[in-house]
């Protein structure tokens, strides 16, 4: 792996971590009848932000390592950890998780194409 590939990988992480929250908020605000800050408490939003960034990092890392079955582990772990919150507002958590996972995989595929892994 040369310096260009390493630079692209690092930029992929920075891009994903910097944009995923904005994309997620944009899409969720379009499908929700109320603004997110009226639907979800600040504490839950902040917790979701941190969990989402960890999820982004793990998904991208597993994709670069070509450990695709580990993606299911990330998804299942998040579901178990946020089970109580999911029962209160399933739209926010299920749609948010699916959007975040899909966006992370899309960015991962683009980066992998750029460096020639796939």
Q: What 3-state class would DSSP assign to 65?
A: coil
Task: Assign residue 66 a region (left: φ > 0; alpha: ψ between -120 and 50; beta: otherwise).
Answer: left
The per-residue pLDDT for range 27-52, each reduced to its tens digit, is 988 887 777 777 777 887 888 889 89
Token output for 43: 């504490």
Query: How much of the chain, in percent, has pLDDT values that exceed 70?
Result: 97
| For the chain, the helix, strand and coil percentages under 3-state DSSP, each to the nearest 5 | 85, 0, 15
Q: What is the average pLDDT across 62-91? A: 81
Residue 22's pLDDT band, with cuts at 50, 70 and 90, is very high
- Domain that residue 91 falls in: 3-115
Q: Mean pLDDT over all residues of the chain?
A: 87
- pTM for the whole structure: 0.87
Contact 68, 101 (CB under 8 A): no
Domain count, the chain: 1
Contact 36, 99 (CB under 8 A): no
The answer to which of 4-18, 19-33, 84-98 has the lowest mean pLDDT is 84-98
Confidence (pLDDT) at 65? 92
Residue 102's pLDDT band, with cuts at 50, 70 and 90, is very high
How many residues belong to the chain?
A: 118
Confidence (pLDDT) at 118? 63
To which H or E segment does residue 99 belong?
helix 96-115
Confidence (pLDDT) at 57? 96
């Amino acid at each position: 792996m040369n310096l260009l590939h390493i630079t692209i990988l690092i930029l992929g992480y920075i891009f994903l971590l910097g944009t995923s929250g904005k994309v997620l908020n944009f899409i969720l605000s379009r499908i929700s009848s109320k603004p997110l800050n009226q639907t979800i408490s600040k504490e839950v939003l902040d917790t979701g932000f941190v969990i989402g960034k960890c999820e982004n990092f793990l998904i991208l890392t597993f994709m670069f390592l070509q450990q695709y079955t580990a993606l299911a582990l990330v998804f299942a772990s998040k579901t178990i950890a946020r089970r109580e919150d999911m029962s209160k507002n399933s739209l926010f958590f299920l749609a948010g998780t699916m959007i975040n996972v899909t966006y992370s995989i899309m960015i991962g595929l683009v980066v992998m194409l750029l460096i020639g892994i796939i």
